Amino acid sequence: MSSSPLTRWHPAVIWSTWFWSGLSPKAPGTMGSLAALPVGYVIFLYFGPLTLAAATILVFFSGWWSCHIYVRETGKSDPGEVVIDEVAGLWIALLVTNGDLILSGAAFVFFRLFDIWKPWPIRWLDQHVKGAFGVMIDDILAGIFAAAAVLLLAQLAFFQID
């Protein structure tokens, strides 16, 4: 970012890196997901799944905006420090947990698994959809995959999900 006019305090940097959690030198995607987990959990617990769904949509579109600025200004195609996509993806997975702490932990693990492993079609999106939308969309699908895995786990483990 040295040749870029973006500073650590630029709104696109703060948002794209989810309040700088993506600037972690080790595992920035995991750190961003960890930073997003309690926020998503609290939104779900105190305001309900509809509010978390609305917040997820807001994070997706505002993340698309901030990623566009970040990618344009830094010249990086899919910067590791950009983790707002992890926030949106993880929150999708949290939507099916019914606020259960164990299932929320499972949502985190499944989301990270699918985001790192990138099975088809997540890998296809990651490789073929470029720009800020490309940064965001593969994590959205990883979040959907994680939500499906959480639902399956809940059924197999007899968790009560309304």
Neighbours of 81 (CB within 10 A): 22
Model pLDDT, residue 1: 43
- Calculate the average pLDDT of the chain: 94
Residue 162 confidence (pLDDT) above 60: no
For 128-154, how does the pLDDT look when each residue is reduced to its tens digit (9 = 90+)?
999 999 999 999 999 999 999 999 999
CA 63, 67, 69: angle at the middle one, nearest 5?
A: 125
Q: What is the pTM of this model?
A: 0.93
Percent of the chain with pLDDT over 70: 95
Residue 2 scores a pLDDT above 60: no
- Write down the H helix ranges in the chain: 11-16, 28-47, 49-74, 84-94, 101-117, 122-128, 131-156
94-123 per-position pLDDT tens digit = 999 999 999 999 999 999 999 999 999 999
pLDDT band (50, 70, 90) for residue 158: confident
On the question of pLDDT at 15 being above 60, the answer is: yes
Q: What tens digit of pLDDT does each residue of 35-68 get?
A: 999 999 999 999 999 999 999 999 999 999 999 9
As a whole number of angstroms, the distance between CA 162 and CA 152 comes to 14
Q: What is the per-residue pLDDT across 78-95, written as a single tens digit (0 to 9) for each?
A: 999 999 999 999 999 999
